[in-house]
Amino acid sequence: MQLEPECVGCLFNQVLRAFQLLKPDISREIVLGTQKKLMEYLMNLDMEQNASPIFGKTLYKLVAEALDVKDPYASIKKKYNQLAMQFYDEAKKIVDKAEDPLIEAIIVAALGNTIDLAAQHKIDFINDIKKFSPKDLVINDYDKFKQVLQKTNHLLILGDNCGEIVFDKLLIVTIKELYPDLEIIYSVRAAPTINDVTIEDAKFVGLTDLVHVIEGSDTPGIHIPTSTDEFKKHFFLKDGVILSKGQGNFESLYGMKMPDIKMFYLLKAKCSLMERIFKVKIGNLIFKMKTNSF
């Protein structure tokens, strides 16, 4: 996706939020200096010829340089993974007992993106699962997903955030039980970026023991030109199916011409741009099959 008008101000706000989370006592001069560097970068770049993952990569590179840390989110990612793992066994019991385990696992994987360590209230993830039903998905192409799964032998899941990856694992376990002959590939980032999943996170939660995990690009979101050859092979595989997790992946894929690729987006709408594109409200969960307009 090219940079949209809603995204410009958001980029500068992301710089501020990153410092507030990572180093709350940092000086205003460093915050403003980083925002100025981002401004200079954007002013010297053709926004029509560059995709959103490139902007995100540069933004968080500037934050990392200001903090003089290669992976500023390392400890936060570990906490998210550890927290999510505490909920895994009970979430699996709910999925296993569900009338339709697959849609329940999809819901759990979507809700996993909503866990927030910075929340001021107690996290009650299991209760959130119990209260959420398929009808609460404001866009729900689940029936189409089942139909497509029955006709393919290859599923590529595009991973998104730490913590959430634990419930992606639960989704994969569920799919493997229902479709034992289906080859499932899970992709992660090729290098640390924000709190996105990397191969280290996949190993930490035991996902590498379950499926083949591959690396894509070193950007937040999917950037095909800089992705590994292995990723491109699975992404463009004829007759394969792709499940794209999270808003970041959707933003990077939105608008790309992929007429022969069957893809489904599973995400939470987190900003006004998603409201405009999907015609939903912020906070809504979406399970949408890609069409020519998406």
- Mean pLDDT computed over 188-216: 96
85 or 292, greater pLDDT: 85
- Mean pLDDT computed over 186-212: 96
Coil, helix or strand for 197? coil
- For the cut 90, the answer to whether the pLDDT of residue 88 exceeds it is yes
Cβ neighbour number for residue 228 with a 10 Å cutoff: 15
Q: How far is CA 158 from each of CA 34, 142, 185, 243, 255, rounded to the nearest angstrom? A: 30, 17, 9, 6, 17
Percentage of the chain lying above the pLDDT 90 cut? 69
pTM for this prediction: 0.94
**Residue matched to tokens 């697959």:** 102
Select from 3.40.50.300, 2.60.120.1140, 3.40.50.10880, 3.40.50.10800 the CATH code of 74-289: 3.40.50.10880
Q: Across the chain, what does the average pLDDT equal?
A: 90
- Mean pLDDT computed over 141-155: 96
- Mean pLDDT computed over 100-110: 95
Domain boundaries, the chain: 5-67, 74-289
| pLDDT score for 48 | 65
Contact yes or no for 190/165 (Cβ under 8 A) = no
- For the cut 50, the answer to whether the pLDDT of residue 208 exceeds it is yes
d(CA 130, CA 258): 36
d(CA 36, CA 201): 33
- Helices and strands in the chain: count of H runs, count of E runs: 12, 7
- Mean pLDDT computed over 98-112: 94
For residue range 27-81, list pLDDT tens digits in order: 999 999 999 999 998 888 776 655 677 788 899 999 999 999 999 999 999 999 9
For residue range 248-287, list pLDDT tens digits in order: 899 889 888 877 889 999 999 988 889 999 999 998 999 9
**CA angle, residues 73, 74, 78, in degrees to nearest 5:** 115
| pLDDT score for 50 | 56
- For the cut 80, the answer to whether the pLDDT of residue 122 exceeds it is no
**In 179-228, which residue ranges form alpha helices assigned H by DSSP?**
199-204
Q: How far is CA 212 from each of CA 33, 99, 235, rounded to the nearest angstrom? A: 42, 29, 14
Q: How far is CA 146 from the centre of its chain?
A: 21
| pLDDT score for 258 | 79
Q: What is the DSSP string of 84-117?
A: HHHHHHHHHHHHHHSSSHHHHHHHHHHHGGG--T
119: pLDDT confidence band, cut at 50, 70 and 90?
Answer: very low
137 or 6, greater pLDDT: 137
Q: How far is CA 65 from the centre of its chain?
A: 24
| pLDDT score for 123 | 61
Q: What is the DSSP string of 127-172?
A: HHHHH--GGG-SEE-HHHHHHHHTT-SEEEEE--BTTHHHHHHHHH
